[in-house]
Amino acid sequence: MILLGILAASGAGITGGVAGYVAGGFNGSYLSLVDKFTFPDDSRTTLATGLSATKYGSAGMSNSGVAGYVAGGYNGSSVLNAVDKFALASDSRSTLGTGLVTATFVAGGFSNSGVAGYVTGGNNLSNVIATVGKLTFSTDATSNLATGLSNAIAFTAGMSNSGVAGYNLGGINGYTGTAIATVDKFAFPSDSRTTLATGLSSARGRVAGFSNNGSAGYSAGGRANTATVDKFAFPSDSRTTLGTGLSSARNGAGGFSSGIVAGYVGGGFAGSTVTTVDKFAFPDDSRTTLATGLSVARYYVSTFENGG
């Protein structure tokens, strides 16, 4: 019995992950701070070293157990291609010598942990783009996929079924401000793209994505402000909508996960910027709100995780 207890505790530690991170953002000022939520108690600290620049709208990618990446963004005057890398053992930050091939912000991000991270769509101030950038984790080399998104979109987000596929969720199509419900799926390792027959339950951008890897991916909130959380079951990609959504209707939040234990949605704009972090426990998807939210209210954040 003691041995079983030890094994169970050890297994919970592995599947429960280590920490989730919320980086940068905007609240009237461009921010460089990085908050860290340590699992399983969800205690929050703020890293001594933040991003290499104050910026919002970066894309986050995770190579769990190794490094988290924050790519691109906007600093108030320029669209950036810089990629910051956080070594997860120490949380020390470096900036890659070679950034994204295509500078972008308000793009989506997803990961095939251990293999590569992806930056989807976004805005380069000249155009809303369909480009999908790829960062190969073993070398930190960047490239662009031959096949991009099915639409040129910004204010989009991603979710991952690591080892199987990454998904791009909704977005704002062009400069017309028209939201779309489209969900594009990129199969690993070929990176071939298909578009799900069933997209989001309503057209919207500025959503947050998170995953219960191997089981389901989630799209939370969005513009116009909504509390809706859609759930896509893996591998069928069938969609349901949770009975309990976010604790408040908001957009521009970020999502991260603690392995197969819980998903989190942090920050956002709900008439004003918020510090709120909602937690959805897997597999029943029940929602609580953390007693300690972000250190500073903000939206257009980027997120990554050491998710187990």
pLDDT beyond 90 at 174: no
- Residue 251, both tokens: 């957009």
Q: How far apart are CA 155 and CA 60, in angstroms?
A: 13
Find where tokens 């204010």 sit: 155
pLDDT of 175 reads 63
What is the pTM (predicted TM-score) of this model?
0.94
What are the tens digits of pLDDT across the range 197-207?
999 999 999 99
CA-wise closest residue to 155 among 222, 94, 219 = 222
- Give the phi and the psi of residue 11 in degrees, each rounded to 5: -65, -40
Q: How far apart are CA 271 and CA 213, in angstroms?
A: 32
Q: How far apart are CA 158 and CA 218, in angstroms?
A: 9
Q: How far apart are CA 147 and CA 145, in angstroms?
A: 5
H/E run at residue 150:
none
pLDDT beyond 90 at 11: no
pLDDT of 229 reads 98
Domains of the chain: 2-303 (2.120.10.80)
Average pLDDT over residues 260-282: 97
Q: How far apart are CA 15 and CA 215, in angstroms?
A: 13
- Per 3-state DSSP, what percentage of the chain is helix, strand, and coil (rounded to 5)? 5, 50, 45
What are the tens digits of pLDDT across the range 284-301?
999 999 999 999 999 999
> Cα 156–159–163 angle (5° rounding)?
140
Q: How far apart are CA 115 and CA 9, in angstroms?
A: 28
Residues present in the chain in total: 308
pLDDT range class, residue 303, cuts 50, 70, 90? very high
Q: How far apart are CA 206 and CA 301, in angstroms?
A: 11
pLDDT beyond 80 at 308: no
> What does pLDDT average to over the chain?
93
Is the CA virtual torsion 167, 170, 171, 172 positive or negative? positive
> Cα 280–282–283 angle (5° rounding)?
130
Q: How far apart are CA 2 and CA 189, in angstroms?
A: 41
Average pLDDT over residues 236-248: 97
Question: Is residue 305 a contact partner of residue 64, using CB atoms and an 8 Å limit?
Answer: yes
CA-wise closest residue to 37 among 265, 204, 212, 281 = 265
Average pLDDT over residues 34-55: 97
pLDDT range class, residue 17, cuts 50, 70, 90? confident
pLDDT beyond 80 at 4: no
What are the tens digits of pLDDT across the range 58-110?
999 999 999 999 999 999 999 999 999 999 999 999 999 999 999 999 999 99
For residue 283, the tally of other CB atoms under 10 A from its CB is: 10
